[in-house]
Chain A
Amino acid sequence: MTILFKSWHHYLRLTQRFPSVGSIVPFIPVVALWWLVTALELFPRVFLPGPGDVLRSFGSLVYKGILPDYLQDSMVRLAVGAFCGIALGIPLGILIGMSRHAHTALWPVLLFFQAIGDIAWLPILVIWFGYGLVSMTFVIVYTVIFPVVLNTVLGVRSIPIAMHRAALSLGASRWQVLWEVVLPGALPNIVTGLRNGLGYGWRALIAAEIIVGTSGIGFLMFDARRAGSTVEILLGMIILGILWYIVDSWILAPIERATGQRWGLVSK
């Protein structure tokens, strides 16, 4: 027992020194279990391929150039959608957060549209815009925008009134208050909203690709289903997980830490 405890302690220290260790090691038991289940042939191989099969399929798809292309398509769609969602969501959130009139006028409409959900738009979007980037971008923007707006509003409203008053008494104009107080004050919440929004957007993108896509990781999986290739379906699922893990823990989480935690606005 003490040995287990000690090695766990060592492991914790190791992850602190090399964070990448902490992001890989937890998956070793998962993959081992997967390998064990397939090696024991509890399920037929065609239903549940093993890690080796998936790795081979990964190699061949990369070699054929399909995977890099699809990956790029998905990432570009996410980036375009996320960019538009952020560009619309942050100003809208600040407007609603700062102006009682804007809040009164827009909030109910916002909640109504939030309830419709992203994928529910696809049928009408396909009729309007066809199977393409416009439909998909719309869905992503739609998914990203709500968490961004809601969290931005929350952030703007959580700034103590004394902070506004302090800035005004030091001679700040309304625009200076916006730039020097409201934006940085709301930033930790905005980043949280972004992180949630991109997470939902990523899932919405895959769903959209499965339904209306002609390329991308979602399409890869849907296409594989048609061909009955469980290997490629599993590969797609794993890629989704890994990609999101990278984006979230290597890009978004550090930004979140760098803002809120240093300032003491968010507890560690």
Chain B
Amino acid sequence: MKSLTIRNLSKTYFDLYAGTNHTAIHDVSLEVAEGDFVAVVGPSGCGKSTILNMIAGFIPLSGGEILVGGRPVKGPGPDRGVVFQSFALFPWKTVLENVAFGPKMRGVGKAEREAIAREYLALAKLTEAANRYPNELSGGMQQRVGVVRALANNPDVLLMDEPFASVDAQTRMTLQEELTRIWQEKRPTVLFITHDVGEAVFLANRVVVLSKGRVLDDIGIDLPRPRSWDALNEDADFKALSNRVLQLVRSA
């Protein structure tokens, strides 16, 4: 695990049809310490995915720099694990093969990488599903696979772009609780993107509010762990923090 540093990041898209430039990210700086869990919230279109795609190396930067463990990143790489909103599991691979994919790319032998994959599947209570194909699983299970597939590759930083946005509300709460549990166990460095204020406050140690491509505020969340919805739903601190973030997002 390493730290993630973003300095003076900016992104300008060129609209091919209109022939105009559109600046989606203006001068964003952000630090995620080693083993920290930071959530970025903001209204739709404020540039959350753009930031994450630049960190992941999927799209080029227009300005600024991105450092992982102090070293600048270039293009996608296994040091930054990504969990996608669309899951992006490989449909032609079993669950086990999906989770073993990262180690396989590094040349880890079959027996060893399957042992790694099984360990992570157990972590997400997916042992039973190991030999099934992704399309045979529910959305919630698929995203569990997506999370442990990224973790099993032991990335320095874990990037998540609205990973739970496309599952139902009950499943989402379960997945959020599991993610906090897994995070406490493995302590990866996480940058989590969402438009759901409650989710951000529930999961993170810090919530960064983004507005029109700029950082509006950065709020520490000092709620005790382990966190569960049963405990936090009625918790006064949780409510106060959620309200504060919500006000910021609405003013954004």
Interface residues in chain A, defined as those with a beta carbon under 8 Å from any beta carbon in chain B: 160, 162-163, 165-173, 176, 180-181, 184-185, 187, 259, 262-265
* Distance between Cα atoms of A168 and B159 in the complex (Å): 14
Q: Is the CB of B135 within 8 A of A176?
A: no
| B80 part of interface (Cβ distance < 8 Å) | yes
Partner of A165, one of B58, B90, B102, B105: B58
Q: Return chain B residues, CB-CB under 8 Å to A173.
A: 105
Q: Is the CB of A181 within 8 A of B76?
A: no
* Distance between Cα atoms of A262 and B82 in the complex (Å): 26
Interface residues of B in 64-95 (CB under 8 A from A): 75-78, 80-82, 84, 86, 88-93
* Distance between Cα atoms of A259 and B84 in the complex (Å): 25
* Distance between Cα atoms of A108 and B31 in the complex (Å): 50
Q: Is the CB of B92 within 8 A of A170?
A: no
| B206 part of interface (Cβ distance < 8 Å) | no
Q: Return chain A residues, CB-CB under 8 Å to B56.
A: 165, 169
Q: Is the CB of B149 within 8 A of A263?
A: no
In the complex, which of the residues B58, B133, B149, B150 has the most CB atoms of chain A within 10 Å of its own CB atom? B58
Q: Return chain A residues, CB-CB under 8 Å to B101.
A: 167, 170, 172, 180
| B189 part of interface (Cβ distance < 8 Å) | no
A169 with B78, Cβ < 8 A, contacts A160-B86, A264-B133 known: yes
In the complex, 15 of the A-B residue pairs with CB atoms within 8 angstroms, ordered by the A residue number, are: A160-B86, A163-B90, A166-B90, A167-B101, A169-B56, A169-B77, A169-B80, A170-B78, A170-B150, A171-B78, A259-B92, A263-B133, A264-B133, A264-B134, A264-B136
Q: Is the CB of B76 within 8 A of A169?
A: yes
Q: Return chain B residues, CB-CB under 8 Å to A163.
A: 88, 90
Q: Return chain B residues, CB-CB under 8 Å to A162.
A: 84, 86, 88
Q: Is the CB of B91 within 8 A of A264?
A: yes
Q: Is the CB of A184 within 8 A of B92?
A: yes
Q: Is the CB of B88 within 8 A of A171?
A: no
Main secondary structure of the interface of B (DSSP, over half): loop
| B211 part of interface (Cβ distance < 8 Å) | no
| B225 part of interface (Cβ distance < 8 Å) | no
Q: Is the CB of A180 within 8 A of B78?
A: no
Q: Is the CB of A180 within 8 A of B90?
A: yes
* Distance between Cα atoms of A171 and B58 in the complex (Å): 13
State the 3 A-B residue pairs at the shortest beta-carbon distance, nearest first: A264-B135, A171-B78, A168-B76
| B153 part of interface (Cβ distance < 8 Å) | yes
Q: Is the CB of B86 within 8 A of A170?
A: no
* Distance between Cα atoms of A169 and B146 in the complex (Å): 12
Given contacts A166-B88, A171-B78, A171-B105, 18 further A-B contacts (CB under 8 A): A160-B86, A162-B84, A163-B88, A165-B56, A166-B82, A166-B89, A168-B76, A169-B57, A171-B102, A180-B105, A184-B93, A187-B92, A263-B91, A264-B91, A264-B134, A264-B136, A265-B91, A265-B92
In the complex, which of the residues B84, B136, B150, B153 has the most CB atoms of chain A within 10 Å of its own CB atom? B84
* Distance between Cα atoms of A176 and B58 in the complex (Å): 17
Q: Is the CB of A185 within 8 A of B92?
A: yes
* Distance between Cα atoms of A264 and B139 in the complex (Å): 14
User: Whole-angstrom distance from the CB of A97 to the nearest CB of chain B?
Assistant: 17
| B106 part of interface (Cβ distance < 8 Å) | yes
Q: Return chain A residues, CB-CB under 8 Å to B134.
A: 264
* Distance between Cα atoms of A176 and B102 in the complex (Å): 11
Q: Return chain B residues, CB-CB under 8 Å to A172.
A: 101, 105
Q: Return chain A residues, CB-CB under 8 Å to B135.
A: 263-264
| A162 closest partner in B (C-beta) | B88
Q: Is the CB of B88 within 8 A of A170?
A: no
* Distance between Cα atoms of A264 and B84 in the complex (Å): 19
User: Whole-angstrom distance from the CB of A8 to the nearest CB of chain B?
Assistant: 32
User: Whole-angstrom distance from the CB of B53 to the nearest CB of chain A?
Assistant: 9
Q: Return chain B residues, CB-CB under 8 Å to A259.
A: 92
Q: Is the CB of B105 within 8 A of A176?
A: yes
Q: Return chain B residues, CB-CB under 8 Å to A171.
A: 77-78, 102, 105-106, 153
Interface residues of B in 153-206 (CB under 8 A from A): 153
* Distance between Cα atoms of A185 and B149 in the complex (Å): 19
| B85 closest partner in A (C-beta) | A162
Q: Return chain B residues, CB-CB under 8 Å to A181.
A: 90
Q: Return chain A residues, CB-CB under 8 Å to B78.
A: 169-171
| B136 closest partner in A (C-beta) | A264
Q: Return chain B residues, CB-CB under 8 Å to A265.
A: 91-92
Q: Is the CB of B102 within 8 A of A170?
A: yes
Q: Return chain B residues, CB-CB under 8 Å to A187.
A: 92
A160 with B88, Cβ < 8 A, contacts A169-B80, A170-B105, A263-B135 known: yes
Q: Return chain B residues, CB-CB under 8 Å to A170.
A: 78, 81, 101-102, 105, 149-150, 153
